[in-house]
């Protein structure tokens, strides 16, 4: 692992979440696909927002949430992603910097507004996301500064980055830089429909051994290998990436690590309010542990703990200090 | 009471809250007065925001919160208050309309941005507020439409409206219209320091019998009558307004109603997370009950119930359906 001053640098879409409660009837009436992420345009964002109930705004974005979690654990982290210089863009930049994260991507001064994700949370605590990518689409390879990237032990990239065409090039550039710097490349499959959109490319990345650490939930890994069976998917990915964390909601996670299989429990006794951010925060705990040289089991347990905090309240980012929670559980030394 | 199609129309500053957790040390370092509302200018808003931790944005404003609560109870309500046509202004307008509230005040297309209130919530659940009034300051008497106002059984005004000079004239115009329409005038003293700023004028309003229903907490009513003793303040206001609801946090409230004194309990067993909106939501329950012709005790109990919901989570507006909560308690017929 490279000598590095940051634990993790994340590259992802820079998004403000707009969270509201809704019932299944509303999802059906609005044609919102439950439990997944759908890309929407500006007009649809406006009409869906107008139909939604009262909402709460808070910073989101999958990789950005992970980076926020790493900072809350006491990790040193950076983020790259584009907002526009508007009110929501300032909210995003404020929130991530207030956590001590290095975030220096230039704000766009024209073009589409800051990205927003309209998140409908149903009484079963499931979140259904409609994302207007806005200014996120203007992330380019120029925003990926090699000197900055080389300071990280791991670089974390989201599958969602393949949606904005230019961001994909930024993604590839980041992979090349990280490889040169011997930083580890961590990658999240993001969403089953995202996997369906880019299945061939994602499988190529894995087959070409470009990925050091892979994150996926059950739906994403089975979508990647076009199977309905989790174990078939697990065997398909096994041996192709050095480390792979497969999350299974309340069933915990399965961690493949240098050939061995570790089964990790989910946190028990959690009152689930809103699953937004569960996967992102699992990745936060896991990556923090990985960057600090923890063993597979401890990385997984940290992931479970951080995910449990995220689902216990509305919104994706931690409300409590993850560092304090982890210290109480003996997962981080005080 | 006038024949009316709305229960309550509120007039107040239209504000988006920016809520963050902080400790007493941060309040001290930033010179934020604990538990009260301080007016700040744009530069101070920027510097305090930059120093604050990650935040969550949601619609606020004292009277606007009350109106949101009345809507959540199933009441018919309207609101008058000015935002600018910017992202936060659209958030404010969306949230209040999404509750079914009639809100038609024209958005400002220039001038200062939408008002925001930086709210620091300390571990003791107290909120300390720093408000940049922004576009709220541009509410004028022209925004108070007599035809609209005459549709309400009660018009609810906040003491905070005396801070923006033009809004005070809007306040006076609304009082005159309501009087002509035989709508009741409800008035909140808002904040002890607000009372200190306008003590003479507020006392004159009361002495001239312009107020039908007065809301104040212990600190506000004692500030109004410049005494440290709650009972002295209570006796001073007694007989000067037909209805007066004096709230005392966990000690419940005292309701003066046509000369009689009713002592109302606070809700029991509430886990207090954030006191933001407690007084606003007490007023919501009370005013809804008043507009529906409930007796003093039932109005007060509804107030207690709504306040309890508000303090059980971050942010001022109800997360649960207040109508359902009130139906469960038998305070509203199903």
CATH number of B103's domain: 3.40.1190.20
- Please report which helix (H) or strand (E) contains residue A110, including its range: none
pLDDT tens for each residue of B168-210: 999 999 999 999 898 999 999 999 999 999 999 999 999 999 9
- Please report which helix (H) or strand (E) contains residue A325, including its range: helix A322-328
Coil vs helix vs strand at A81: coil
- Look at phi and psi of residue B236 and say left if phi exceeds 0, alpha if psi is from -120 to 50, else beta: alpha
Give me the domain span that covers residue B175: 6-13+60-113+134-328
Span A80-92, mean pLDDT? 97
Is residue B32 very low, low, confident or very high in pLDDT (cuts 50, 70, 90)? very high
Is residue B4 very low, low, confident or very high in pLDDT (cuts 50, 70, 90)? low
- Contact check, Cβ <8 Å, B94/A54: yes
Give me the residue from B52, B87, B319 closest to A98, CB to CB. B52
Tell me how far CA of residue A330 lies from CA of A307, A325, B287, in angstroms: 17, 9, 51
- What is d(CA B6, CA B67) in angstroms, rounded to the nearest whole number? 11
State phi, psi for B8 to the nearest 5 degrees: -145, 135
pLDDT at A278: 96
- What is d(CA B215, CA B4) in angstroms, rounded to the nearest whole number? 23
pLDDT at A326: 97
Give me the residue from A56, A98, A314 closest to B53, CB to CB. A98
**DSSP-assigned letter for residue B123:** T
Say which residues have a Cβ less than 8 Å from residue B71's Cβ, sequence separation at least 6.
B77, B99, B100, B101
Assigned domain for A274 exists? yes
pLDDT tens for each residue of A119-144: 999 999 999 999 999 999 999 999 99
Assigned domain for B29 exists? no
Q: Which two tokens stand for residue B99?
A: 């509750």
Is residue B334 very low, low, confident or very high in pLDDT (cuts 50, 70, 90)? confident
Distance from chain centroid for Cα A299: 16
Span B225-248, mean pLDDT? 97
> Which pTM value belongs to this model?
0.95
Assigned domain for B206 exists? yes
Number of domains in chain B: 1
Assigned domain for B127 exists? no
Cβ pair A186, A156 in contact under 8 A: yes
Q: What angle is formed at CA A118 by the lines to CA A121 and CA B59, rounded to 5 degrees?
A: 85
Residues of B with CB under 8 A from a CB of A: 21, 49-50, 52-59, 68, 86-88, 91, 94-96, 98-99, 113, 314-315, 317, 319
Cβ pair B105, B144 in contact under 8 A: no
Calculate the average pLDDT of chain B.
95
Assigned domain for A224 exists? yes
More confident: B2 or B45: B45
pLDDT over 70 at B2, yes or no: no
Span A161-174, mean pLDDT? 92
Coil vs helix vs strand at A133: coil
- What is d(CA A129, CA A231) in angstroms, rounded to the nearest whole number? 28
Cβ pair A45, A18 in contact under 8 A: no
Say which residues have a Cβ less than 8 Å from residue B65's Cβ, sequence separation at least 6.
B277, B280, B281, B284, B310, B316, B317
**Would you list the DSSP string of B253-312?**
EEEEETTEEEEEPPPSS---S--TTHHHHHHHHHHHHHHTT--HHHHHHHHHHHHHHHHT
pLDDT at B165: 85
Whole-number percent of chain A with pLDDT over 70 = 99
pLDDT tens for each residue of A309-323: 999 999 999 999 999
- What is d(CA B296, CA B288) in angstroms, rounded to the nearest whole number? 12
Assigned domain for B24 exists? no
Coil vs helix vs strand at A215: strand
Which of A302, A192, A286 lies closest to A243 in space, CA to CA? A286
Tell me how far CA of residue A43 lies from CA of A40, A46, A47, A131, A132, in angstroms: 8, 5, 6, 12, 9
Which of B193, B195, B284, B198 lies closest to B245 in space, CA to CA? B284
pLDDT at B3: 46
Best mutation target among B16, B23, B48, B54 (most A Cβ atoms within 10 Å) is B54
Best mutation target among B57, B93, B113 (most A Cβ atoms within 10 Å) is B57
- What is d(CA B65, CA B280) in angstroms, rounded to the nearest whole number? 6
By C-alpha distance, the chain B residue nearest A50 is B94
Assigned domain for A130 exists? no
pLDDT at A165: 85
pLDDT at A4: 54
Query: How large is the ipTM?
Result: 0.93
pLDDT at A334: 73
Span B236-261, mean pLDDT? 96
Span A207-219, mean pLDDT? 97
- Kindly report the length of chain B: 334
Whole-number percent of chain B with pLDDT over 70 = 99
Is residue A2 very low, low, confident or very high in pLDDT (cuts 50, 70, 90)? very low
Cβ pair A221, A237 in contact under 8 A: yes
- Contact check, Cβ <8 Å, B56/A57: yes
pLDDT at A330: 96
- Contact check, Cβ <8 Å, B52/A91: no
pLDDT tens for each residue of A241-296: 999 999 999 999 999 999 899 999 999 999 999 999 999 999 999 999 999 999 99
Span A19-45, mean pLDDT? 96
pLDDT at B24: 97
Span A3-7, mean pLDDT? 77
pLDDT over 90 at B1, yes or no: no
Assigned domain for A29 exists? no
Give me the residue from A53, A59, A94 closest to B98, CB to CB. A53
Return the beta strands (E) in chain B as ranges.
Answer: 6-11, 15-21, 37-39, 56-59, 77-80, 102-103, 115-121, 127-132, 152-158, 184-188, 213-217, 243-247, 253-257, 260-264
- What is d(CA A302, CA A212) in angstroms, rounded to the nearest whole number? 19
- What is d(CA A144, CA B297) in angstroms, rounded to the nearest whole number? 64
Residues of A with CB under 8 A from a CB of B: 21, 49-50, 52-59, 68, 86-88, 91, 94-96, 98-99, 113, 314-315, 317, 319
- As to burial, measured by CB atoms within 10 angstroms (0-12 exposed, 13-18 middle, 19+ buried), residue B85 is middle
Instruction: Give B99→chain A minimum CA distance, Å.
Output: 7
Give me the residue from B21, B49, B319 closest to A94, CB to CB. B49
Which of A124, A174, A130 lies closest to A149 in space, CA to CA? A174
pLDDT tens for each residue of B83-134: 999 999 999 999 999 999 999 999 999 999 999 999 999 999 999 999 999 9
Helices then strands (H, E): number in chain B? 12, 14
- What is d(CA A210, CA A172) in angstroms, rounded to the nearest whole number? 10
- Contact check, Cβ <8 Å, B98/A56: no
- Contact check, Cβ <8 Å, B86/A87: yes
């Amino acid at each position: 692992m490279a000598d590095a001053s940051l634990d993790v640098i994340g590259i992802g879409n820079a998004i403000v979440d707009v969270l509201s409660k809704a019932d299944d009837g509303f999802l059906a009436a609005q044609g919102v696909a439950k439990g997944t992420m759908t890309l929407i345009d500006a007009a649809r964002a406006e009409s869906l927002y107008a139909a939604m109930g009262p909402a709460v705004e808070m910073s989101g974005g999958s990789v950005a949430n992970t980076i926020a979690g790493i900072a809350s654990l006491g990790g040193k982290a950076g983020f790259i992603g584009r907002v526009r210089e508007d009110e929501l863009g300032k909210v995003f930049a404020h929130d991530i910097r207030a956590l001590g994260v290095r975030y220096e991507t230039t704000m766009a001064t024209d073009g589409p507004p800051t990205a927003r994700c309209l998140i409908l949370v149903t009484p079963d605590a499931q979140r259904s996301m409609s994302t207007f990518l806005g200014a996120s689409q203007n992330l380019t390879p120029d925003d990926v500064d090699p000197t900055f990237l080389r300071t990280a032990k791991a670089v974390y990239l989201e599958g969602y980055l393949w949606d904005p065409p230019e961001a994909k090039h930024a993604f590839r550039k980041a992979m090349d830089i990280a490889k040169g710097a011997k930083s580890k490349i961590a990658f999240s499959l993001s969403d089953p429909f995202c996997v369906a959109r880019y299945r061939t490319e994602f499988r190529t990345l894995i087959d070409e051994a470009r990925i050091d650490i892979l994150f996926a939930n059950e739906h994403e890994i089975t979508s990647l290998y076009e199977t309905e069976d989790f174990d078939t998917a697990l065997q398909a990915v096994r041996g192709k990436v050095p480390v792979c964390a497969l999350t299974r909601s309340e069933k915990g996670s399965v961690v493949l690590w240098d050939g061995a299989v570790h089964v990790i429990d989910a946190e028990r006794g959690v009152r689930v309010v809103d699953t937004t951010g569960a996967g992102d925060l699992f990745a936060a705990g896991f990556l923090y542990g990985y960057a600090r040289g923890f063993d597979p089991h401890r990385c997984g347990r940290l992931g479970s703990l951080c995910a449990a905090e995220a689902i216990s309240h509305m919104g994706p980012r931690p409300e409590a200090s993850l560092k304090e929670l982890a210290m109480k559980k003996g997962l981080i030394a005080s």
